[in-house]
Amino acid sequence: MEVWVEGVDVLDQRRLAFYRVTGGVASYTRQPEGWHKGGGGGMPMNNVDLPVELFLRWQSLVEPQTYKIGIKIPQRVRDEMVRPERVFCQGSRKWKHDYRDTITLGMAPGGIVKVWFGGPCLDFREVGRFQAEIEPLGPYRGGSEGQYVTIEPENKAYVEKHGIPYGSW
């Protein structure tokens, strides 16, 4: 389901805060139900150490509703992110040492968020499933006078015909 990310902020293990590290259209699989289990589009973040907490604010365009959440990244995940693994990389067709250095956020209607971590040649592992809260100020913290980002016409038509599959997340 289509979402618009208003912003992701990161607090790293040095206790440095990085604001609005990404935002905009989130990639989606065009499958209305379920998760794609990590990967997808993203934005590299330079000079950010291992994340301790992520702060996410997004618009679920099919509802429409704005959600916000803070997600703590467990120490066990950070430990795995710095541990190299020997793996055969399909892209280069070579053996290499790779890291799970990527965190992916999945957002769904109803304020559901899933977090995964993985790497270019390594599978993605689930960090957890979380429930966000409704942002009481609405989109852009009230800065858009209640106006949401426009949903794609084909997505709007699908929701009008089939509804929102809330139970699939």
- Considering the chain, what is the average pLDDT of its residues? 88
pLDDT of residue 168: 83
Please tell me the distance from the alpha carbon of residue 79 to that of residue 94, in angstroms, as a whole number: 25
- Hey, what are 131's tokens? 């429930």
- Average pLDDT of span 110-134: 95
Q: Which residues contact 104 (CB under 8 A, 6 or more apart)?
A: 38, 39, 40, 42, 115, 116, 117, 118, 124
Which pLDDT value is given to residue 41? 57
pTM, entire model? 0.88
Instruction: Give the H or E element holding residue 24.
Output: strand 17-25
Report whether 16 contacts 47 (CB < 8 A).
no
User: What does each C-alpha distance from 49 to 9, 13, 23, 30, 79 come to in angstroms?
Assistant: 13, 6, 20, 32, 12
What is the rounded CA–CA span in Å between residue 136 and residue 20?
20
**How far is it, in rounded angstroms, from Cα 58 to Cα 37?**
19
- What confidence tens digit (pLDDT) does each residue in 63-109 have? 999 999 999 999 999 999 999 999 999 888 999 999 999 998 999 99
- C-alpha distances (whole Å) from 117 to each of 61, 85, 124, 125 are 25, 14, 5, 5
The pLDDT confidence band at residue 23, using thresholds 50, 70 and 90, is confident
Please report the pLDDT score of residue 48 as a whole number: 85
CB–CB of 2/28 below 8 Å?
yes
Q: Binning pLDDT at 50, 70 and 90, where does residue 152 land? A: confident
